[in-house]
Amino acid sequence: MSVCIVTGSAGLIGSEAARFFSEQGLAVVGIDNDMRSRFFGASASTAWNRQRLERELGGYRHESVDIRDREALQAVFQHLGTSVAAVVHCAAQPSHDWAAKDVQTDFSVNANGTLNLLDCVRRHCPEAVFLHMSTNKVYGDRPNTLPLVESETRYEIDESHPYHAQGIDEQMSIDGSMHSLFGVSKAAADLLVQEYGRYFGLRTACFRGGCLTGPAHSGTELHGFLAYLMARALSGEPYTVFGYKAKQVRDNIHSKDVVRALWAFFQRPRSAEVYNLGGGRFANCSMLEAIRLCEELAGRRMNWQYSEQNRAGDHIWYISDMSRFKSHYPEWDYTVDLRQTLAEIRDALLERAQGRA
């Protein structure tokens, strides 16, 4: 049986990928050592999601391996050999702020961990498709140089700009901007994935995600803003918005639609591809708009406050142009809008609070 290795398998996209690829008939080996709990504390642990995968997915096998441990990874790949048909690489340190606290760990997880995985694929399963979850933070804060217009609830790009219709495309430069240290480590990984495609002919793709979200997200203040926002809306605990008058805009894509995009690429792989991946014009919101929607779905006013200081390297406005991916894979399209996504997040949070997850 063909095998799909999923790193970060207990996380948001990893767990969604594990389920989807398993449903398509592949055996799934998950690699996840719950580093998220180390990054963000016990409340962000993904242990609950790992347990659910082990309980619900037939044929799922879990390996508590650190992707920085080259020997341990080599052992997993050597054992599976050419049965590995796909590697979905979701494991990462995902936070701007956390990266600045421990630069060595951030870089070793995001860059060196990715290099270790690529080397394993090249050595043991060179025909496997390597699907890398990158980030729009590889562009740094260059999007902030775009001509933006302020309205009552959001910033928006000027209507005369080419990006207005569909968003930011893959031609945006990654140079000459402030990336955050997280953005640097992810850019290094992104470039490695591309070069392993070009130099060694591996079938690789970088998916530069906007805000990836969904009901399996263990949201925390430093990462996973929609899930964390909804959790605070339900609990009444305080939430802080950092900078830009709470009018910064993000596009949001449901984890199911993310994984369907990964599957489309797996079906007809290419080499050294780069795609922006986000909610685009289909699903986006400002912080103010997200707060209002969470209040509506939670049935209560949020306890939120504002800090004038924005996060270093943060975007004021970011909407992903998905047209390049759609031109390669026209069968793919969005299926879950923003309201439905937040409603699913709300329901999942209530379910976990009642101990039914």
Of the candidates 193, 145, 185, the residue with the CA atom closest to the CA atom of residue 315: 145
Report pLDDT for 356: 55
Backbone angles phi, psi at 174, to 5 degrees: -95, 0
The full DSSP string for 210-268 is SEEE-TT---BTTB-HHHHHHHHHHH---EEEESGGG--EEEEEEHHHHHHHHHHHHHS
Q: How many domains does the chain have?
A: 1
Report pLDDT for 59: 87
pTM recorded for the entire structure: 0.95
* CATH number of the CATH domain containing 16: 3.40.50.720
Q: What is the pLDDT of residues 226-284, one digit of tens each?
A: 999 999 999 999 999 999 999 999 999 999 999 999 999 999 999 999 999 999 999 99
Range of the domain at 64: 3-353
Say if strands 249-254 and 284-286 run parallel, antiparallel, or are unpaired: antiparallel
Which residues of the chain register pLDDT less than 70?
A: 222, 356-357
